[in-house]
């Protein structure tokens, strides 16, 4: 096991109002949400305050599915200490850009499989939530390749 040591991080960090809503919905309800642009209708996941295409502020939180498809992926074949946990990820492990149903952008996360028959662009995936959630992206344990 690898640990991150005894360093201190004497600061607070915010993900803004919409990022907090995203994390709270995952933690408290195992739900995923995005934010919809009032001008072009694009749905961003995770939510962000301004549309990158229209440069207008957004405030409409919308539900998205916990299922989607692999947009692009990689199979990581080297040791990697996960900064979220301080624990080395399995070698190999899958990592992907995932486009959830109802979203127009991708979020990145780990996959439960490295099977070359199953893991491919367009493969369907479903979020697997941790039983005990803390309000972070790691409240999703990984995405199960269906």
Residue range at the interface with Zn ion (CB under 5 A); choices 48-56, 59-67, 83-91, 119-127: 48-56
Least separation in angstroms between residue 50's CB and Zn ion is 9
Q: Which listed residue (2, 20, 40, 80) binds Zn ion by CB under 5 A?
A: 40
If binding is defined by CB under 5 A, does position 54 make contact with Zn ion?
Answer: yes
Residue range at the interface with Zn ion (CB under 5 A); choices 23-31, 51-59, 60-68, 122-130: 51-59
Q: How crowded is the C-beta side of 113, counted as CA atoms within 13 Å?
A: 17
Q: Coil, strand, or helix at residue 42?
A: coil
What distance in Å separates the CA atoms of residue 113 and residue 125, rounded to the nearest whole number? Answer: 10
What distance in Å separates the CA atoms of residue 28 and residue 21, rounded to the nearest whole number? Answer: 10
Least separation in angstroms between residue 45's CB and Zn ion is 14
Site for Zn ion in 82-121 (CB under 5 A): none
Q: What is 78-93 written as a DSSP string?
A: S--B-TTTSSBPPSSE
Q: Which listed residue (4, 20, 53, 74) binds Zn ion by CB under 5 A?
A: 53
Residue range at the interface with Zn ion (CB under 5 A); choices 19-27, 45-53, 84-92, 132-140: 45-53
If binding is defined by CB under 5 A, does position 39 make contact with Zn ion?
Answer: yes
If binding is defined by CB under 5 A, does position 50 make contact with Zn ion?
Answer: no
Q: Quick check: 96 and 125 in contact, CB under 8 A?
A: yes
**CB contact set of 133 (below 8 Å; sequence gap of 6+):** 26, 27, 28, 30, 139
Q: Which residues bind Zn ion (CB under 5 A)?
A: 37, 39-40, 42, 51, 53-54
């Amino acid at each position: 096991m690898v640990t991150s040591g005894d360093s201190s991080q004497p600061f607070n960090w915010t993900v803004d109002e919409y990022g907090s809503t995203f994390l709270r919905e995952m933690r408290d309800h195992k739900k995923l949400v995005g934010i919809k642009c009032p001008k072009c209708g694009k749905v961003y996941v995770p939510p962000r305050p301004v549309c990158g295409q229209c440069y207008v502020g957004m405030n409409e939180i919308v539900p998205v599915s916990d299922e989607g498809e692999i947009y692009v992926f990689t199979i990581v074949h080297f040791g990697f200490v996960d900064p979220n946990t301080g624990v080395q990820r399995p070698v190999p492990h899958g990592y992907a850009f995932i486009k959830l149903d109802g979203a127009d952008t991708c979020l990145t996360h780990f996959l439960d499989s490295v099977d070359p028959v199953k893991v491919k662009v367009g493969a369907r995936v479903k979020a697997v939530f941790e039983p005990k959630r803390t309000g972070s992206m790691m409240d999703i344990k990984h995405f199960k390749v269906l």
